[in-house]
Chains A and B, each alone.
Chain A
Amino acid sequence: MTALDVRELLSDAAALYRDRPPAVAMLRECLERLEEPLKVGFAGTPGTGKSTLVSALAEWPTRALRDLDLFDTPALAEHVDATVRLVRHLEPDELAGARPAGGSAFARQSAVNSVLVLGRADEVGAGRIDALLTAKQLARRAWREDRNCAGFQGVIAVAGQLGYAGRALRDDEFEVLRALAAVSRAELERYLLSVDSFVDDQFPVRIPPESRKHLVSRFGLYGVRLAITLIRTGCESRMKLSAELVHRSGLGDLRDTLAGCFVARAEALKARTAVLRLENLLAADPRSQSDRLVARVERFAAAAHDFRELRLIADIRGGRTALSGEVAEEATRLLGVQGLAPTERLGLEPDSGPAEIHAGAESALVRWRHDAEREDAAHTERAAARVIVRSVEGLLSLFVA
């Protein structure tokens, strides 16, 4: 199933509903949206750091997020193709509220378009210096263990404010931080205790209170403390510190997840949105000839391999399969976690020739087909192996053409 088929499907539907202008307009909008960048919505209760995160990502000059449109709190779910859902704490009540909604069979089967973010990860652990590490562990544990998190493509702890400040770290900010790091730990400690003491008049270093206020409002007290510690332990240049802060804040993780799960699969996700809207239309206003369109929608749902790959990647990474270690690594790579190009899937050098690719794909096919047919393996394991076999077969089909 390709985007071309979806276009054809939408055009045929528009012909069927030509007597209803609103439906035609909707279908035309769907068609147009297939040409537009992927739309990602950020949802969550107020105070979870949505807008901070949106601005941190939207202004990021990174190739990975080039083809994305980010929306803060979309009004309607169907206005976006994928969702980043933010929560403040990984409390059961909050997680239960964040669970993606159900929908039709196809919507549920292809619900591979949301990522859960623990916003404000720097508040975890009462601002201890290892707070972000703890938050990452908590997020990982929740993804693996909490039933409410099973429907997400990832659970990521992000300190949005810190990541934003770190990514856009300015030279003057870095200079102030370096000046602070130069003061002895014992002397500085009591002034890093609270925001009040940090902007106190009796501050031991000659830095104007305004810059201190600016710094703490931009980085947060935790961020200031972390940045000083990082400078003391070796991040001596602005670039280094910036990279380290982005890495530690989890913003990098979020970017990679968005790139791997959303950007790389943009075509499939956009097609999904269009098909879902078409499905709703067909259910709300059935016509005598709409049966054939419904059947085509079902065929699309059955043939859409991208969703199965994404779902399996999430299951493998969330520890919900029997795969682990290197095997899991290879499986996710074949499923396209590092990119959809044949060389990326097979873990070959980018300049490998067709012969190498063919040989690599053949050997992978033999191994995974063996797994898919093992009698002693559990049903779910064999099903997983079958999905991977199908992905590898897709690689080999390139040669047939």
Chain B
Amino acid sequence: MTAPAWLDVLNETLDACAAHGRADLAERLRRRRDQQAPGTRIAVVGFPKQGKGYLLNALLNAPVCAVGDASTPAVPTEIGYAHDPAATLVGHARERVPVDDLAKELEVRPPGSLRRVEVGLPRELLGTGLVLVDTPAIGDPRSPRTAATLDVLADAHAVILVSDATQELQPAELALARHIRTWCPALVLALTKIDVSPDWRELAARNRAALSETGVVADVFPVSATVRQAAAKAGDAGLNGRSGFPELLNWVGEQAARPIERTRALAAAVSVRAAAVELVESLQARLNAVSQDSGIDQVTLLHQAQRRTEELRRQNVRWQNLLSDEITDLVSDAEYDLRERTRTIVRHIDRTFDEGDPAQIWPDFRTWLEENLADAVETNYNWVSDRSTWIAHAVATGFGARYGQAPELPLTGSGVDSIPEVGTPKIERFKIGQKLFTGLRGSYGGVLMFGLVTSLAGLPLINPVSLGAGVAFATKSVRDEGGMRLQRRQALAKAAAQRHVDDVFIRFSKEIKDEVRQVQRRLRDHFTALSDELAEELTRQRELIIAGSAERDRRTQQVKREIDRLAALHRKAGALGSGAAPRRELSA
């Protein structure tokens, strides 16, 4: 047996569905393809309390389905032909129960333990392999019952939608009808309970109008199970005619009489068309999204990019000027600051050694000088580093908030530890021997001067007067010598301290200058790189804008080709299922 013609079309559509990420559609098509039903499957669906059970029982003239106050079972019941009446509960295992006990058995089963129920009945109607499927009532879209019913619909070749004559078709029922008619080749509406409704004729007309308004092709069969039951009991053919069931049975018979291959082809054709339509809708949505993107004018985008480039150029000049000005200022300010600080120290040195004796205070003075110098250098350095950071931020701010990230500055520390020690000047002390010698030298003149004068008075050269003068002269010369030596020491100490301060100043003013230059280089490099990056990005954007339109065109073309292909599949499927009612054709 050769593969049927519909199989290729179906497979191609299935591939397209899978390729475009519509696994749900692909799954439905796969079920249509792989279904191996021996006969037509007709599903009976409807919302709760519409009389599904009564309808099926009346169709089969047998109490198969639960009716009335008992709620409908949560699993589908498949009713097919069997020589002897039998019911099988299909769960993890298959279990046969008598048909008459079915309702009782179903009530005691825990929910979820069954998948479906199979019932066999010796009815002529079912002889062709026809299977009628009673489904759980449709309700809450999230409930497992509704899911089970929709699952049955995926395999059904025809559907009887049940709605009672006490109320018009509700929006939810119309939506359901639309869904069924999209995926199933045949749908009829059974309008039940016409026995209790005085105005069922108007209602049937209104329902027909509502269905065709929704775009659903479906016949409406008004029926009454009560009348049919009474007719069966009385054997009254006329009454049976008035129950409306003969027409419905006719329709069922027609569905069952069609060869199964033909039925499957029809179902496949409808499913392919439904899948194609849905897929095209999602592709069309994608297409719309793409064309909405291109809604913004290319020229506008290019203009924007151009404006941004110019802005960047102006910005470059701005930040370079800012940086060089600030750095020049910083260098001169830093030098001035350091000089000011060292000058203060020098003034203090002068004052100290104008009065103090280096021989006594030098060790204390040395500590003081070292501490103050280190302090001055440190403070100056901190000030410079603060200002450098500020400059970095000022420049970064010019680049705007997005790029306003100042770089890490190469500040290595003040280097205060490397200040050399203060050299101790050569301080000569006035020792006791020297004092003695100087005293003797001074006393010599005094003794001689007064000894000569007193010798005129007949006194010896060495006498109390000359000795007293000698002592006075010795004391004076020792004091004079001491004063001179002190001045010398002070001058020496001053010179040594000033020299040290000068050394430190020269060295650190150079270091600070170097540091600032490092910072300048670092900032220049960083912001140059950033501005290069921005310029490059803008160039890329411009290129993208120019290239983007070409790419978009290409994608649009691709989607359009795909839509054309699906439209062709849709047409082919239409030709296959020419028995199905004509529907609107797809176009890209």
A residues in contact (CB < 8 Å) with B: 47, 88-89, 91-93, 96, 120, 123-127, 134, 138, 190, 193-197, 199, 213, 216-217, 220-222
Inside 8 A of A193's CB, which chain B residues have their CB? 195, 226-227, 230, 239
Inside 8 A of B71's CB, which chain A residues have their CB? 91
B140 within 8 A of A: yes
Number of interface residues of B (CB under 8 A): 28
Among candidates A92, A195, A199, residue contacting B197 with C-beta atoms closer than 8 Å: A195
Looking at chain B's contact residues, the main secondary structure is loop
Contact B139 A216 (CB under 8 A): no
Contact A220 B242 (CB under 8 A): no
Contact B67 A126 (CB under 8 A): yes
Contact B195 A196 (CB under 8 A): yes
Contact A126 B239 (CB under 8 A): no
Minimum CB–CB distance for A133 against chain B, Å? 11
Contact A125 B68 (CB under 8 A): yes
Looking at chain A's contact residues, the main secondary structure is helix
B residues in contact (CB < 8 Å) with A: 48-49, 51, 54, 67-69, 71, 137, 139-140, 143, 166-167, 194-198, 200, 224-227, 230, 234, 239, 242
Contact B54 A126 (CB under 8 A): yes
Contact B194 A194 (CB under 8 A): yes
Among candidates A89, A123, A222, residue contacting B48 with C-beta atoms closer than 8 Å: A89
Among candidates B167, B194, B230, residue contacting A196 with C-beta atoms closer than 8 Å: B194
Whole-angstrom CA separation of A96 from B48 in the bound complex: 15
Inside 8 A of B194's CB, which chain A residues have their CB? 194-196
| Additional pairs, 11, CB under 8 Å, beyond known A93-B143, A222-B196 | A123-B166, A126-B67, A126-B225, A127-B226, A190-B234, A193-B230, A193-B239, A194-B242, A217-B198, A221-B196, A221-B198
Whole-angstrom CA separation of A153 from B393 in the bound complex: 73
Whole-angstrom CA separation of A307 from B506 in the bound complex: 95
Pull 29 A–B residue pairs with CB atoms less than 8 Å apart, ordered by A. Answer: A89-B48, A91-B49, A91-B137, A92-B140, A93-B48, A96-B140, A123-B49, A123-B196, A125-B68, A126-B54, A126-B68, A127-B195, A127-B196, A127-B226, A138-B69, A194-B196, A194-B226, A194-B227, A194-B242, A195-B194, A195-B195, A195-B198, A195-B200, A196-B242, A213-B198, A220-B196, A221-B195, A221-B196, A222-B196
**A220 and chain B: residue at smallest CB distance:** B196
**B243 and chain A: residue at smallest CB distance:** A194
Minimum CB–CB distance for B194 against chain A, Å? 7
Inside 8 A of A47's CB, which chain B residues have their CB? 166-167
Minimum CB–CB distance for B171 against chain A, Å? 11
Q: Which 10 A-B pairs have the closest CB atoms?
A: A194-B195, A93-B139, A47-B167, A89-B49, A195-B198, A91-B48, A93-B140, A221-B196, A217-B198, A194-B227
Inside 8 A of B143's CB, which chain A residues have their CB? 93
Among candidates B137, B200, B226, residue contacting A126 with C-beta atoms closer than 8 Å: B226
**B49 and chain A: residue at smallest CB distance:** A89
**A123 and chain B: residue at smallest CB distance:** B166
Inside 8 A of A196's CB, which chain B residues have their CB? 194-195, 242
Among candidates B49, B69, B196, B234, residue contacting A88 with C-beta atoms closer than 8 Å: B49
Contact A216 B198 (CB under 8 A): yes
**B143 and chain A: residue at smallest CB distance:** A93
Whole-angstrom CA separation of A220 from B230 in the bound complex: 19
Inside 8 A of A127's CB, which chain B residues have their CB? 195-196, 226
**B138 and chain A: residue at smallest CB distance:** A93
Whole-angstrom CA separation of A20 from B13 in the bound complex: 65
